[in-house]
Chains A and B, each alone.
Chain A
Amino acid sequence: MTEKSKTTKNDIVEPVINEEESLKARFHTLSIDGDKYKTLYTEKYKLRTPWEKPNFKKIYSEIPGTIIKIHVTVGQKVNEGDPMMVLEAMKMKNKLIFPISGTVKKIYVSENERIPKQHLMIELK
């Protein structure tokens, strides 16, 4: 019994050493105004998404919902303000219009499809 409890004690000591070592390994560099600091990152900092330059030719959904009707077909020329589709979301039938003029390059969604927020719907060229 005593033998056993001794081993347990040793087992507890070991992970502590490993933790210190892994702490060292986890240190990152954070650059602020040209000065580089040695530090740890927070969970939320690690989860942040890099910024991307918006591409206005790619039209994303602003709200999750169901596509009721698509007013255009591939290759069709459209003007700013033309009806694009009807998206039912939050118990409302939202009439979506084209934000810019162009030609429909590709349609990524179909009627009766349920889509999340920030979902690519249509691409113009």
Chain B
Amino acid sequence: MSLKRKILELQMKREKALQGGGEKAIEKQVAMGKMTARERIITLLDENSFHEYDLFVEHEARDFGMDGKILHGDGVITGTGTIYGAPVCIYAQDFTVAGGSLGLMHARKITKIMDHAMKMRVPIIGINDSGGARIQEGVNSLAGYGEIFYRNTMASGVIPQISVILGPCAGGAVYSPALTDFVFVVENISKMFITGPEVIKTVLGEEISMEDLGGARVHSEITGNAHFFAESEIECFDQIKKLITYIPWNNGQKARPFEPKEPLSNKYKIDEIVPGNPKEPYDVRDVIRAITDGSEFFEIMELWARNIVIGFGRMNGETIGFVANQPMYLAGVLDVDSSDKAARFIRYCDAFQIPIVTLVDLPGYLPGVDQEHAGVIRHGAKLLYAYSEANVPKMTVILRKAYGGGYIAMNSRHLNADFVFAWPGAEIAVMGPEGAANIIFRKEITEAKDPEKMRKQKVKEYKEKFANPYVAAAKGYVDSVIVPRETRKFLLHGIEVSKNKVDRKPIKKHGIPPF
């Protein structure tokens, strides 16, 4: 056979394999409002950058009539490419091939590209769209999942790991996304659960739709399993591309710097955003936008635990992780979910050399039986742990209230913050004026002729004496009391002088965080 014919043969083989599950299956996929696996990869990556591997991998299953079956690529597409020039490893499960079910070779393809990502120290992106384990392959498919989970764990904190849920992702399969850094979901397309509606109906007799059980909105708003919510696959891919620009390729380097830009100070007037009355709400994201380059802020977990805001912005072109209490929701309290949300993000920033800026305005912890019984002690401790452990540059700006345990938890000097600044309206105190006055002056209030008048007077006294930044500044707990307008300048300088920061932790295998 001449080389020409051999090339022709290869082309024919390729063409066949590229059909995936065939026309009918593709039609079904499209009817569900979904792109095919290959379309997804090509749309997400830079033009012509995708290079596919293991196209001719075949499964070895022999039982249950599997021996005659051809499954192109064994239901998963793997390869490498670039996003805005950044190299990435990628895999996408192909639902048109045996429902994207995971058999041994399917898993081997995934672990192979994961190993490659680890060796090359580049991000790994996994697009999940699978019916689950390939039952015919029995324990081999379980082995496949386990080998993926193990690699997810080993890669954690070394290379960025991104999971995109673009179809069902059920049973054991959900644990790979759960182990990765960022999970992307799309309305009406993503479905994640451990036990599906069928099982729930059989066992419990309860009827619930896939969407209500584990749809995109549920995971973005209620469970906190997803980090980014999109209304379409295209919007989802845009979010991933944007994220890639903010994060480094691996833990050994910094995110690529951008051209520095000034904030839009006409649109976000930093002096006017925060109301003087500590009980009035506002959107803290406006404060973040008032200090970031180009007033750009890329929020993560926008819909879950909205009482705390996390996300990336840039300052002087460098990626910064922002953590801020959100007075707009639940007065910005810390609770089970918000502690969990912030703690994980802080650990992400710490692992990938991203400096952290914390904006503080909170009345304390959310009271309630549900909170206590849900373990707010353990979850709240995660935040203390994450801040204390992080040794990237850590800076804090106290915008307004900082009461009690919440003050300590929000990257205070006492948890080894590098710089703590406070605005002149800051109230750093052991608790809010009402509560404090009621306890400190209980005797005076109850014994007064007009207790209500006395109480009001004592609250006022307390406010004047303690509800300010100067008591903390007098002890050096606050480094500088600054005018809001000076915030960006102080933070930029803080980042600048922290460039060579050395903060060694005691030698240990690893800590025991309150997971």
Bound Cα distance from A34 to B279, whole angstroms:
12
Kindly state the interface size class of chain A when it binds its partner.
Answer: 20 to 34
The reply to whether the CB of B350 lies closer than 8 angstroms to some CB of chain A is no
Contacts of A116 in B (CB 8 A): 204-206
Q: Which of B387-441 contact A (CB under 8 A)?
A: 403-404, 431-436, 438
The reply to whether the CB of A33 lies closer than 8 angstroms to some CB of chain B is yes
The reply to whether the CB of B196 lies closer than 8 angstroms to some CB of chain A is no
The reply to whether the CB of A40 lies closer than 8 angstroms to some CB of chain B is yes
Q: Which of A74-125 contact B (CB under 8 A)?
A: 114, 116-117
Bound Cα distance from A57 to B404, whole angstroms:
41
The reply to whether the CB of B305 lies closer than 8 angstroms to some CB of chain A is yes
CB-nearest residue of chain A to B374:
A48
- Nearest CB in chain B: distance from A19 CB, A: 14
Contacts of B34 in A (CB 8 A): none
The reply to whether the CB of B61 lies closer than 8 angstroms to some CB of chain A is no
- Nearest CB in chain B: distance from A22 CB, A: 14
- Nearest CB in chain A: distance from B334 CB, A: 11
The reply to whether the CB of B39 lies closer than 8 angstroms to some CB of chain A is no
Partner of B306 from the list A33, A36, A42 (CB cut-off 8 Å) is A42
Q: Tally of A-B residue pairs with Cβ under 8 A?
A: 86
Contacts of A25 in B (CB 8 A): none
Q: Per-residue CB proximity of A33-69 to B under 8 Å, as 1/0?
A: 1111111111111011111000000000000110000
User: Do B329 and A43 have beta carbons less than 8 Å apart?
Assistant: no
User: Do B222 and A43 have beta carbons less than 8 Å apart?
Assistant: yes
User: Do A32 and B222 have beta carbons less than 8 Å apart?
Assistant: no
User: Do A45 and B330 have beta carbons less than 8 Å apart?
Assistant: yes
Bound Cα distance from A32 to B278, whole angstroms:
12
Partner of B435 from the list A34, A38, A50 (CB cut-off 8 Å) is A34
Q: Per-residue CB proximity of B172-201 to A under 8 Å, as 1/0?
A: 000000000000000000000000000000
Q: Which of B331, B370, B436 has the largest count of A CB atoms less than 10 A from its CB?
A: B331
User: Do B369 and A51 have beta carbons less than 8 Å apart?
Assistant: yes
User: Do A37 and B306 have beta carbons less than 8 Å apart?
Assistant: no
- Contacts A27-B281, A44-B221, A48-B368; A39 near B329 (Cβ below 8 A): yes
The reply to whether the CB of B293 lies closer than 8 angstroms to some CB of chain A is no
- Nearest CB in chain A: distance from B361 CB, A: 11
Q: Per-residue CB proximity of B259-296 to A under 8 Å, as 1/0?
A: 00000000000000000001111000000000000000
- Contacts A43-B221, A44-B337; A33 near B432 (Cβ below 8 A): yes
User: Do B329 and A32 have beta carbons less than 8 Å apart?
Assistant: no
Bound Cα distance from A67 to B69, whole angstroms:
44
CB-nearest residue of chain B to A34:
B434
User: Do B434 and A42 have beta carbons less than 8 Å apart?
Assistant: no
The reply to whether the CB of B37 lies closer than 8 angstroms to some CB of chain A is no
A sample of 5 inter-chain contacts (CB < 8 A) reads A32-B333, A33-B431, A39-B329, A42-B330, A48-B370
Q: Which residues of B contact A (CB under 8 A)?
A: 203-206, 221-222, 278-281, 304-307, 327-333, 337, 363-364, 366-370, 373, 403-404, 431-436, 438
Q: A35-B363, A40-B306, A50-B369 are in contact. List 16 more A-B contacts (CB 8 A).
A: A32-B363, A33-B404, A33-B436, A35-B278, A35-B432, A38-B281, A39-B281, A39-B329, A39-B332, A43-B221, A43-B222, A44-B304, A47-B222, A51-B369, A116-B204, A116-B206
